[in-house]
A and B are shown apart, each in its own frame.
Chain A
Amino acid sequence: MRKVYLDYSATTPLSKTVLAEMMPYFTEQFGNANSMHAFGQQGAYAVDGARRKIAELLKVKPTEIYFTSGGTEADNWALKGGANAYKDKGKHIITSKIEHAAILSSAAQLEQQGYKVTYLPCDEKGIIRPQYLEAAITDDTSIVSIMMANNEIGTVQPIKELAEIAHRHGAIFHTDAVQAMGSIPVDIADLGVDMLSFSGHKFYGPKGIGVLYIKGGIKPDKLIAGGHQERTRRGGTTNVPAVVGLSKALEEALDGLDANYNHIKGLRDYFVQEVEKNIGYVIYNGHREHRLPQNANFAFEFIEGESLLLTLDLNGIACSSGSACSSGSLEPSHVLLATGLPIEKAHGSIRFSFGKDTSKEDVDYVLQNLISAVGRLRAMSPLYSEFIGGKQ
């Protein structure tokens, strides 16, 4: 059976050239980068080199790059550390309803500690409009955190305008760029953000490694207390192979950005066009233009997302359920509900995310299986019978 992976927004396979670059640091050059001796200094040298390369690629200073265990830790650090460090300005935080759980759960913890949190809405296409922030921001707002691109529906937010508004009111601005990095251009200086999170495994790098960019002069409180690593701001023995891998993966991703963007967007646009042409009663969630190239998210009416996901899985196709039913919670996606999609349609939503290894043949195989899977599940659905019966 053919296997087609269309869940690149969940994670990507590690690039073989990235793996090759990482390998020596697991075995021969295993030293602790904080040790004074030659074994350690080999590691320290590798970490320094990686940090400088990442800074150069992102056109920022090496001292502004901080390694973390991943995107989730970077988000936790930015929001909690930022809120604590700048609480003298005020205890009001602004984020949005469509953030990743790393931000939403951190915000919930801050609420329990007495912070006031405003969750900005999005419009029906999933865009957080600057006027929403303008209306919510106050003199007490210390930090604003809005994701650059949404993980479920792929909408790309007007970060530059949002950051300008935050700054005009004296608040610092963080963006979760986990989905954006390596997929679309991320010009940190032009965006004007104070902090930015990203993660290695979303662009063919290793899992368990992320970065928090912290602009010079911005000083969020420490999240992980420990030794003197990361200029004493983040404790814990440096994951040298992962740091090396992330830097190499970022280099490859940015070198191939235009080619990958065009390839992936071409396939995604073809897929969306064919789905809309061949399957009725389908809603394309999110915005058609302000969108990551790899993301397609549909609500198939009258059926439930998990059963569609599993039907495709039985045919070797991997995608992701828009409803969080499969992850144990029976609540449908908070992102889709924020766009105003009715709850029963949110239950029938599925995300397909494309990657650089996806081929036209893969997409055709998925289309063929998707059309028959939707047909099969609708034939079983009492909602569909009632709808069709009602029309006759």
Chain B
Amino acid sequence: MYNERVLKEFANPQNVGEMKDANAVGTVGNATCGDIMKIFLKINENDVIEDVSFQTFGCTAAIATSSVATAMVKGKTIEEALKITNRQVIDELGGLPAQKIHCSVLAEEAIKEAINNYLTEYKKNKK
């Protein structure tokens, strides 16, 4: 059902865990649907994502997409990160089964949610 790349990413995911000093957090999904993705970002004063991590409750695809999506935004500016689409996440994984496409959408949304939270709350509080 899953390709080797997806399984490899699932077996050894990158950027796993809670980040205590994150300044941006985004959570999407819900337990009823079987997927929750939480993304932690540490964004510096130049709006560059210095560090990123995730926690995910979900299937193989949800964990694999969390892993590659976090790797893709690391070192990027928030402007660049906001442009990352679920399609790019799928391509990075070499494809996902049709019924698992929503996992890649969750990854895109979780990153956007984290950055939006940063822009509306963290920056506002700083001023």
Contacts and interface: CB of A to CB of B under 8 A. Distances in A.
Contacts of B34: 304, 323, 325, 330, 332, 344, 347
A216 B111 CA distance: 66
A330 B56 contact: no
B95 interface: no
Given A326-B1, A330-B99, A347-B34, A307 B7 contact: no
Given A323-B34, A380-B63, A382-B27, A304 B58 contact: yes
A9 to B, nearest CB: 20
Contacts of B37: 382
Contacts of A347: 31, 34
Interface string B57-73: 11110110000000000
Contacts of A383: 31, 36, 57
A314 interface: yes
A162 interface: no
B116 interface: no
Contact of B56 (A311, A314, A323, A381): A381
B16 A379 contact: yes
B94 interface: no
Interface string B1-27: 110000100110100111000000001
Contacts of A303: 57
A344 B56 contact: no
A310 interface: yes
A114 interface: no
A307 B63 contact: yes
Given A314-B7, A326-B1, A330-B34, A381 B55 contact: yes
B46 interface: no
A302 interface: yes
Contact of B32 (A311, A343, A379): A343
B7 A382 contact: no
Contacts of B16: 379-380
Interface in A284-329: 302-304, 306-307, 310-311, 314, 323, 325-326, 328-329
A302 B57 contact: yes
A379 B10 contact: no
Sorting the interface of chain B by its residue count into under 10, 10 to 19, 20 to 34 or 35 or more gives 20 to 34
Given A307-B10, A330-B99, A382 B36 contact: yes
A304 B59 contact: yes
A378 to B, nearest CB: 9
A385 interface: yes
A384 B58 CA distance: 12
B112 interface: no
Contacts of A379: 16-17
A344 B10 contact: no
A311 B32 CA distance: 22
B74 interface: no
A332 B59 CA distance: 12
Interface of A: 302-304, 306-307, 310-311, 314, 323, 325-326, 328-330, 332, 343-344, 347, 379-385
Given A344-B31, A382-B36, A382-B55, 5 more contacts: A307-B58, A307-B59, A307-B62, A314-B7, A347-B31
23 contacts: A304-B34, A304-B58, A304-B62, A306-B60, A307-B60, A307-B62, A311-B11, A314-B7, A325-B34, A326-B59, A328-B99, A332-B34, A344-B31, A379-B17, A380-B13, A380-B16, A381-B55, A382-B37, A382-B38, A382-B56, A383-B31, A384-B57, A385-B18
